[in-house]
Amino acid sequence: MQDTMMKRASELLADGTVVRVLGWKNGEFVYDPTPAVFDSAEALAQDFVYHDFCGSNLSKYLIELSRLEGKTLVFLKPCDSYSLNQLLTEHRIDREKVYIIGIPCDGKLDPDTVRSSAEGILSAVTEGDSVQVETMYGNVTLNKADCLLERCTVCKSHKVVVFDEMLGENGTVNPDSNRFDMVEKLEAMTPEERYEFWRGELSRCIRCNACRNVCPACSCEQCVFDSPTSGVSQKAAADSFEENMFHIIRAFHVAGRCTDCGECSRVCPQHIPLHLLNRKFIKDINTYYGEYQAGAEAGSRAPLVNFTMDDCEPNVIYKGGSK
């Protein structure tokens, strides 16, 4: 796949369709590629990579890149393409300035998970269903399925939803992803248990803001929590409960716009399952307003910013899915 991508990117650079390519650059180790912009075939040949550790979602970078002169070529995996569509819906990206190549995906690896089973990694390659890891302390074979990013274990869709061309065959939406299983477990808890669960998770937050800054739905030029003049700027939480509020407010702010791309949970250095907050909102929206997937279609109106006569009454208390 990597070679096909490089070849196609070089062609599009050569014929002037695009002036730059957004992709992934080879890292120090096998598992740490960095998103990067390439402006020539030579640059691509030198550093461009695409493999199972290229999990990062490139869509958000196009806010900046689509403001530059000329078109940018971007490679989008299925989940990344939902983010891009959502950013188009929010008028954050100029579609005319982006050339999208869709790439099929069968799951990306989580470096932290691999590392937790293989200390001292020197190389790691996927072969079919397994990951062969060479370490300083010997070789280890891991099951690929056990090393996937959380979002990939419950992939909602293998379909690239916006593209100018596809490399390889496009996939389909996966209605049986089971991505709400954990949300259901949380719903089944007593309020006290649930409170304990979230206090346990959120109290571990170091407020590095990685979750917010990586989030394609968090695209404000300046976050209210960063603005010294907002009155709610929050460089540190005054008490441990305020830390929870940051996350709950953020989840509300992205409700109906979060595509469940899973980046927040991928980047959290404390491994807090932030996606569960967002999935709860998605699940509730599905339940009360009908199935809705943010980013499935550019320009779609999210239930929370729309009105239909069938909408549920906000003052009716819903419990366990019924009135």
Chain residues in the site for another protein (CB under 8 A): 27-29, 31-37, 56, 61, 110-113, 115-117, 119-122, 135-137, 204, 206-210, 212-214, 222, 226-228, 233, 235-238, 263, 266-267, 269-271
Residue 249: contacted member of another protein, ligand SF4, none (CB under 5 to 8 Å, by partner type)? none
**Do 1 and 23 contact (CB within 8 A), yes or no?**
no
Q: Residue 11 or residue 42: which is nearer to another protein going by CB?
A: 42
Q: Tokens representing 6?
A: 């490089």
Q: Residue 126 or residue 135: which is nearer to another protein going by CB?
A: 135
Provide the binding-site residues for ligand SF4, judged by CB under 6 A: 205-211, 267-270, 272, 274
Residue 237: contacted member of ligand SF4, another protein, none (CB under 5 to 8 Å, by partner type)? another protein
Q: Closest Cα to residue 114, out of 157, 148, 77, 161?
A: 148
Q: Residue 117 or residue 177: which is nearer to another protein going by CB?
A: 117
DSSP element (H, E) containing 86: helix 78-89
Q: Residue 38 or residue 61: which is nearer to ligand SF4 going by CB?
A: 61
Q: Closest Cα to residue 218, out of 161, 270, 278?
A: 278
The nearest distance, CB 232 to ligand SF4, in angstroms, is 16
Residue 27: contacted member of another protein, ligand SF4, none (CB under 5 to 8 Å, by partner type)? another protein
The 3-class SS string of 229-287 reads CCCCCCCCCCCHHHHHHHHHHHHHHHCCCCCCCCHHHHHCCCCCCCHHHHHHHHHHHHH
Q: Residue 35 or residue 171: which is nearer to another protein going by CB?
A: 35
The conformational region for residue 321 under phi > 0 = left, psi -120 to 50 = alpha, else beta, is left
Distance CA 283, CA 234 (A): 29
